[in-house]
């Protein structure tokens, strides 16, 4: 659940991802988009999928890279979506529950805003002020009484949803694999990636076949979680 970072926070910004494509419904895609723009990975701290699942993005201890000129002292939340009618009740429920948790963590000394309040953008496209019952100052009008428990994604990568990869493959899933292997994420499964995969498989007691299937993905994700938890 929400853990207050050590840095000062007094504002929360709400965003939408500007896509309704199912393949973009995850932090890994946001991460790739930001990297492609030359930025240091995903700019949002929290991402809410169409099914309401909450996914962790950027480390909360770091300022977001989401609202130009207004990143410091803020937390950035992004809901997957572009068209107003495609946002889901599950997403809004998660946004409400998350916002109540954040608000409680700061004893109400935090205000909630749409990205569009500080930029000439339509983001977010939905009526976040209504969803969060905000007053004119951006103070939250909700309490825990009308919110549901949050469902957190177990990892930014779900081994059940990842494609089987092998040498010669290309694309965002390969880049995600490379990030998990902690090698250059150019999205091209070449000899270097192949060697790294085989070495990883050996260390994990898996079949050293260079094919990244469900078991290898699961081991990579588990390994990633340990590394990050330790750090
Ligand atoms: Zn935005």
The one-digit pLDDT tens for each residue of the chain (231 residues) are 688 999 999 999 999 998 999 889 999 888 888 888 888 789 999 999 999 999 999 999 999 999 999 999 999 999 999 999 999 999 999 999 999 999 999 999 999 999 999 999 999 999 999 999 999 999 999 987 767 777 777 555 666 678 899 999 998 789 888 888 888 888 899 999 999 999 999 988 999 999 999 889 888 877 665 443 322
Looking at residue 172, its pLDDT comes to 79
- 171 CA from centroid of ligand 1 (Å): 25
Residues β-bridged to residue 152: 54
Topology of domain 161-230 in CATH is Muramoyl-pentapeptide Carboxypeptidase; domain 1 (1.10.101)
Neighbours of 163 (CB within 10 A): 12
Cα 98 from chain centroid (whole Å): 14
What is the residue-wise DSSP string for the chain? -----SS---EEEEEE-S---GGG-SHHHHHHHHHHTTSSS---SEEE-TT--EEE-S-TTSPPSSSTT--TTEEEEEES-SSGGG--HHHHHHHHHHHHHHHHHTTT--EEEEGGGSSSS--S-S-HHHHTT--TT------GGG-----B-S-SS-GGGSPPB-TT-BSHHHHHHHHHHTS---SB--HHHHHHHHHHHHHTT---SS-B-HHHHHHHHHHHHHHHHH-
Q: What residues sit around ligand 1, an ion, with C-beta below 5 angstroms? A: 15, 115, 123
Task: Report domain extents, the chain.
Answer: 11-146, 161-230
- Active site residue ranges: 15, 44, 115, 121, 123
- 78 CA from centroid of ligand 1 (Å): 7
- 115 CA from centroid of ligand 1 (Å): 5
- 8 CA from centroid of ligand 1 (Å): 21
Long-range contacts made by residues 41-46, C-beta under 8 angstroms, separation at least 24?
Answer: 43/76, 44/15, 44/76, 44/77, 44/78, 45/75, 45/76, 45/77, 46/75, 46/76, 46/77, 46/78, 46/98
Tokens standing for 29?
């895609």
Q: In whole angstroms, what is the distance from residue 73 CA to residue 10 CA?
A: 6
- 125 CA from centroid of ligand 1 (Å): 9
Looking at residue 230, its pLDDT comes to 27
- 5 CA from centroid of ligand 1 (Å): 21
11-146: CATH, from 3.40.50.1580, 3.40.80.10, 2.40.128.640, 1.10.510.10: 3.40.80.10
């Amino acid at each position: 659940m929400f853990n207050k970072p050590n840095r000062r926070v007094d504002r929360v910004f709400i965003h939408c991802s500007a896509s309704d494509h199912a393949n973009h419904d995850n932090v890994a895609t946001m991460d790739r988009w930001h990297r492609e723009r030359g930025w240091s990975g995903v700019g949002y701290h929290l991402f809410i999928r169409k099914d309401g699942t909450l996914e962790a993005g950027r480390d909360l201890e770091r300022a977001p890279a989401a609202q130009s000129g207004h990143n410091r002292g803020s937390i950035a939340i992004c809901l997957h979506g572009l068209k107003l009618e495609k946002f889901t009740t599950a997403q809004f429920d998660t946004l409400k529950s998350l916002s109540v948790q954040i608000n409680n963590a700061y004893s109400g000394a935090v205000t909630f805003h749409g990205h569009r309040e500080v930029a000439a953008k339509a983001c977010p496209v939905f009526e976040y002020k209504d969803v969060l019952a905000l007053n004119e100052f951006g103070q939250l009008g909700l309490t825990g009484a009308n919110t549901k428990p949050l469902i957190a994604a177990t990892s930014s990568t779900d081994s059940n949803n990842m494609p089987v990869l092998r040498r010669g493959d290309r694309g965002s899933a390969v880049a995600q694999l490379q990030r998990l292997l902690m090698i250059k994420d150019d999205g091209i499964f070449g000899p270097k990636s192949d060697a790294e995969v085989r070495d990883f498989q050996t260390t994990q007691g898996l079949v050293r076949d260079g094919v990244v299937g469900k078991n290898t993905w699961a081991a990579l994700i588990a390994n990633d979680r340990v590394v990050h938890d330790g750090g």
